[in-house]
Amino acid sequence: MDSPTGRMIRIGTTSIGLIGLDVTINRALAAGIPATEAVEPIFRAVRERNYVPATMADKYRTAIEREYRRLSGLAHDEQEGLVIRILGSGCISCKGLQTMVIDAMERAGIAADIEQIHDRDEIGRLGVTSTPALIINGQIKIAGITPTLAQVEQWLQEFGSRADPQK
């Protein structure tokens, strides 16, 4: 049986951790349920395990549909800004990569949403075969080895300047 884990998802302008979202989405994807039909059952399952303010229900549904479409390959990541995904089992190397990314962000003065992905099925769907791995705005930057701090800073600067036309 799958054990529910927390997954960060953007609801409006905030990233929120939802318990059980991964498991529920993976089951719907495996069953081949179309996105329009999958949203409501996923939302109900998420609401059973997480507090969802009544005034935010529609935003949660929209975010769940966006995530479902992204994971099923129907849509590219529609999030604005810098989105960093750290993929791995949660081992020392993966945690070290996250610390390095946060340090690089602080040094560069760049803000980003950071998402940790531990689910092997999702890691495979993202096209990654070895971990730790780092994905920035949908681009796999490195997999199977830990980059240097200088490499991470360079990647963040490249993506940060694309996200901010003023730079």
What are 134's two structure tokens? 């780092």
What are 156's two structure tokens? 């963040």
What are 43's two structure tokens? 């939302």
Q: In terms of CATH, what superfamily is 83-163?
A: Glutaredoxin (3.40.30.10)
- The structural domains of the chain, with segments of one domain joined by +, span 6-72, 83-163
Query: Which residues, listed in sequence order, are joined to residue 113 by a DSSP beta bridge?
Result: 83
Q: Which of 6-20, 54-68, 125-139, 153-167 has the lowest mean pLDDT?
A: 153-167
Average pLDDT over residues 145-167: 76
DSSP H stretches of helix in the chain: 21-31, 35-49, 57-72, 92-108, 120-125, 149-163
Burial of 78 (0-12, 13-18, 19+ CB in 10 A): exposed
Mind listing the pLDDT tens digit for each residue in 4-50? 556 778 787 677 888 888 889 889 988 989 989 999 999 999 999 99
Mind listing the pLDDT tens digit for each residue in 78-134? 445 788 899 998 889 988 999 999 999 888 888 777 888 888 888 888 889 999 999
